[in-house]
Amino acid sequence: MTSTIESPVTSDNTAVPHYQMFIDGRWVDSAERYEIINPATEEIVATAAKGDVSHADTAVAAARRTFQEGVWRNLSGSARAAVLETTADALEARSEELAAAATREGGAPIYLSMGLNAITPISNLRYFAELARTYRFELPGPVVGGIAHGGVVRREPVGVCAAIVPWNFPLALAVWKIGPALAAGNSVVLKTDEKTPIGALELARELQAAGLPDGVFNVVTGDGEVVGAHLASHTDVNKIGFTGSSEVGKKVSEAASRSNLKRVTLELGGKGPNIVLEDADMQMAVDGAIWGFLMHAGQACESGTRLLLPASVHDRFVDRLIERLKDVKIGDPLDATSNLGPLIDAAQRERVLGYIELAKQEGATVACGGGVPAGVDKGYWVEPTVLINVTNDMRVAREEIFGPVLCVLRYETVEEAIAIANDSDFGLSAGVWSNSVDTALEVSRQLEAGSVWINDFHMANENYAFGGFKQSGVGRELGANALDPYTEVKSIQISMEPDISKRAYGLALPTPAPAWSR
């Protein structure tokens, strides 16, 4: 039975709202809480419960109980789809509210929050609902040796799934894990990032209102090094989906294998090459390069942060790029005319500024930007920064900066561009710009990246799988096979005649054969 629908928010008789965790169908507070800070103004947006290991254990126990009881997994795919679709409808009715909340807690411009923290997760939920309805959870197996030997191949939910998501696109990346997990019949524990928990908690409210049984979906807040690490090593968690840095992803994978060999899906860091070919539409490629490295102030794993330019057009392209950047409006993220928001916090700002100083030490040149915008005294802002004279052996060309910093590299031949692009520990994304689709496809086929965009960047289409090569991750999210990582394959084989191994021992099935086989 589902409990009374309540809000995750309590006022505490103050002007600042307080968010609680969602565990086993109830809103749960904690002794400790932390502040959610607006990155643009440094004002306190809200406070949130600070969960700990005990909260994670309670959430996992609830998820384990509901999975064993079968209150969700035993429903038909269509019944599960209906809950997801009802949730998507409710979120759509609140999309403007959700987008504004995401901008206040995460700093993304409102147009981006509306797209990636409202419209996109809503569309994704509907996509996963359709998969729940159409996914072949059971198929007849191949017939071997005639009609007497066949079987059934089943895909069954894996069990308790833990999802750990970062702060940059918190609701979208949560739905990429929660959606297929629930569609396949699993129970879920979501660990939000402590900086951006609001969207996930509102999602919990709408899932409960849509009829999701208590305990099937749980949201725990708290420190990643405490709660996230505990979930990764928890022996009652069967599957973990993580998005974040490659460094932390390795720790998650290690903990998962050391504890109970749980299944893992990891979407990790990137250093996306964005290759402009000589025949590209220059203005389109300039705008695409800006979008590729500036979306959400560069705080996206798949950002196009290495721009590879032919020597023949390098100088003209860079001049046009710098001129175009003058049109980028830095300002209040809630202002619909603002293009660029702040970084998430002071630590991230200092990290990015530190990389810019490192670039100078390595011999790169700051062609534009390089510091904090003039006149800014509040918020965690960094100017759009273009580094030229960059070579691929520099740390700024090899390490993920996660800020509005573009490294421009020069190449002589297409073969050299491909070699530079692939000379990286990462392989999450890449872009190719050309007026010839055939040429762009030929280059794309040679790039070591999970997603390659031709004449575009940042296209996260739910019909196409997303994930990385090399240290950019393990497994895929989205796409027609999105439910596969959240299921186990069971083979059931049926034989009504002794096979050769049985005959070798003089064994046979009981006779007479059952009536249904005659």
Q: Which residues are catalytic?
A: 267, 301
Q: Could you tell me the two tokens for 302?
A: 């798949």
- Three-class SS state of 247: helix
Determine phi and psi for 22, rounding to 5 degrees.
Answer: -120, 110
Q: How far apart are alpha carbons 9 and 18 in whole angstroms?
A: 5
Chain-centroid distance of CA 43 in Å reads 27
Q: Which residues of 371-400 are buried (b: 16+ CB within 10 A; e: fewer)?
A: eeeeebeebbbbbbbbbbbbebebebbeeb
| DSSP state letters, 388-449 | ES--TTSHHHHS---SSEEEEEEESSHHHHHHHHHSSSEESEEEEE-S-HHHHHHHHHTS--
Other CB atoms within a 10 A radius of the CB of residue 283 amount to 10
Other CB atoms within a 10 A radius of the CB of residue 102 amount to 27
Give first-to-last CA distance, the chain, whole Å: 45
Q: Are strands 187-191 and 217-220 parallel, antiparallel or unpaired?
A: parallel
Determine phi and psi for 41, rounding to 5 degrees.
Answer: -120, -15
Are 158 and 488 a contacting pair, CB within 8 Å? yes
Distances 504 to 148, 202, 419, 500, 501 between C-alpha atoms, Å: 19, 63, 58, 6, 5
**Of all helices (H) and strands (E), which one includes residue 233?**
helix 229-233
Are 471 and 493 a contacting pair, CB within 8 Å? no
